[in-house]
Amino acid sequence: MKQITHIIRRSILALALVLGFVVSAQAADLDFDLVNDTGYSIKAVYVSPTSLEEWGDNILEGKLKDGESLPITFHPKTTATQWDLRVSWADGSGDVFWRKLKLEEISTLTLQYDEKTQETSAKAE
């Protein structure tokens, strides 16, 4: 039963992705590099249009160690204007979220952690 429910959810997410994207002849460049400058390893990365409630699959294979970067690329006809990002820490300390990112304005997104404030931030370039 769980497997059927999972298949149905994935099908609904795939349909929502297809219906949620506006195809245009001049699609925005949404590709960016995610840089881990936190001092900790990341075990999962999720990127989803802000308009969707589901995250989809983890796009990270293995771990993204401190100091490493991950190139994130999109299909050329993908044109959602706002995106959400979620990362999960390898040490199991929970997830961090960034909402409504305008990826067409970002070429590099560097994640940083401040031990004093215990806050994770993202610097967009």
pLDDT in tens, 34-65: 999 999 999 999 999 999 999 999 999 999 99
* Residue 87 near residue 122, CB atoms below 8 Å: no
Determine the distance from the C-alpha atom of residue 120 to the mean position of all C-alpha atoms in its chain, rounded to a whole number.
15
> What kind of fold does domain 2-124 have according to CATH?
Immunoglobulin-like (2.60.40)
Q: Name the pTM for this structure.
A: 0.78
2 pLDDT above the threshold of 70: no
Per-domain boundaries in the chain: 2-124
